[in-house]
């Protein structure tokens, strides 16, 4: 959805920083950016996983390095920025705030506050920290290299699925953060894109804090509608290249977004009833 005209090819020959690059969508972003001629700083809380992604890029003839970073900690994101600028010998041109975790299966009042803090710390404070640290760097960058920020949210940002409160709130916050940042950066040449997919075939369910019943349901839905992380990364980078704000790769994400905006009350009640019925089906 590009309102203000065509963008430039930010994903080509980019100096890119990708968080959560050890697996899933983050690894796909890193590999695709390298394929497009970029130099990539692969960041992850799992340093070995980030290193494996960087090593695979180098083995294919690309340029990449790995940096450990816990995005929930502002001091580590600041160190990531310093390490990236030292490796690039200059500022990054593209930042992908991707690191995230999954949690679900319990209603509000039963999901623990520890889970709330864990999810919000990574899924929401991670992008906040990334934008807080990297936006001034991108603003101050000189030269004609086009610049961009990609924040990975989810269709859960507007989906309101029961039993996923912490995850939904974290992604809704990331969506609002991205919209606000896009407004603040209008006219600066820095394009902000927020990625809102539904199901992507990654390990987020297995690695998250999700009940067994919800895991089974998510696995089934992923088989039906899940896109590969590589496809999602390509689509999102192309959206940022075009100057687009929203990237909703799957049709069900776009349909849900449209219905929610048109009839929010009916949509929310329907989601609740559908989830209740579906959760009682044999999976």
Residue 10 maps to a domain: no
Joined together, the tokens standing for residue 212 give 């067994």
Q: What is the pLDDT of residue 81?
A: 99
Enumerate the β-bridge partners of residue 191: 148
41 by Cβ neighbours in 10 Å (0-12 / 13-18 / 19+) ranks as: buried
State the CATH number of the domain containing residue 66: 3.40.50.720
- Would you place residue 7 in the very low, low, confident or very high pLDDT band (cuts 50, 70, 90)? very low
What is the distance between the alpha carbons of residues 193 and 181, in angstroms, rounded to a whole number? Answer: 10
Domain presence at residue 127: yes
d(CA 76, CA 146): 26
Could you count the other beta carbons within 10 Å of the beta carbon of residue 186? 13
Catalytic center residues: 167
Q: Is 271 domain-assigned? A: yes
Q: Is 90 left (phi over 0), alpha (psi -120 to 50) or beta?
A: left
Write the pLDDT tens digit of every residue in 224-238.
566 899 999 999 999
Is 148 within a domain?
yes
User: Binning pLDDT at 50, 70 and 90, where does residue 268 land?
Assistant: confident
Q: Which of 63, 68, 55 is nearest to 39 (CA)?
A: 63
Give residue-wise pLDDT tens across range 20-67.
999 999 999 999 999 999 999 999 999 999 999 999 999 999 999 999
Domain assignment present for 5: no
CB-CB contact of 147 with 99 (8 Å): no
What's the pTM? Answer: 0.87
In a domain, 274, yes or no: yes
Q: Which domain holds residue 172?
A: 15-279
Q: What is the number of structural domains in the chain?
A: 1
With respect to residue 7, please indicate whether it lies within any of the assigned structural domains: no
**Could you tell me the two tokens for 257?**
């977004």
Cβ proximity of 168 and 160 under 8 Å: yes
Residue 9 inside a domain? The answer is no
């Amino acid at each position: 959805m590009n309102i203000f005209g065509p963008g430039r090819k930010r994903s080509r020959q980019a100096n890119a920083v990708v968080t959560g690059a050890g697996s899933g969508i983050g690894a796909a972003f890193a590999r695709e950016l390298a394929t497009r001629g970029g130099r990539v700083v692969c960041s992850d809380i799992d340093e070995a996983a980030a290193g494996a992604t960087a090593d695979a890029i180098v083995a294919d003839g690309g340029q990449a390095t790995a940096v450990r970073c816990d995005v929930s900690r502002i001091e580590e994101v600041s160190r990531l920025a310093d390490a990236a600028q030292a490796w690039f010998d200059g500022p990054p041109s593209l930042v992908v705030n991707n690191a995230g975790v999954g949690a679900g299966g319990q209603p509000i009042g039963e999901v623990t506050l520890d889970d709330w803090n864990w999810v919000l710390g990574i899924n929401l404070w991670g992008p906040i920290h990334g934008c807080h640290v990297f936006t001034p760097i991108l603003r101050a960058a000189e030269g004609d290299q086009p610049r961009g920020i990609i924040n990975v949210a989810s269709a859960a940002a507007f989906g309101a699925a029961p039993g996923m409160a912490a995850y939904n709130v974290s992604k809704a916050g990331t969506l609002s953060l991205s919209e606000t940042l896009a407004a603040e950066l209008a006219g600066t040449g820095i394009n902000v894109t927020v990625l809102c997919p539904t199901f992507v075939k990654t390990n987020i369910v297995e690695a998250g804090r999700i009940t067994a019943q919800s895991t089974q349901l998510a696995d089934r839905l992923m088989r039906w509608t899940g896109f590969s992380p590589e496809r999602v990364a390509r689509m999102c980078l192309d959206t940022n290249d075009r100057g687009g704000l929203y990237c909703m790769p799957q049709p069900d994400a776009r349909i849900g977004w449209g219905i929610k905006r048109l009839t929010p009350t009916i949509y929310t009640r329907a989601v609740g009833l559908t989830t209740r019925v579906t959760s009682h089906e044999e999976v």
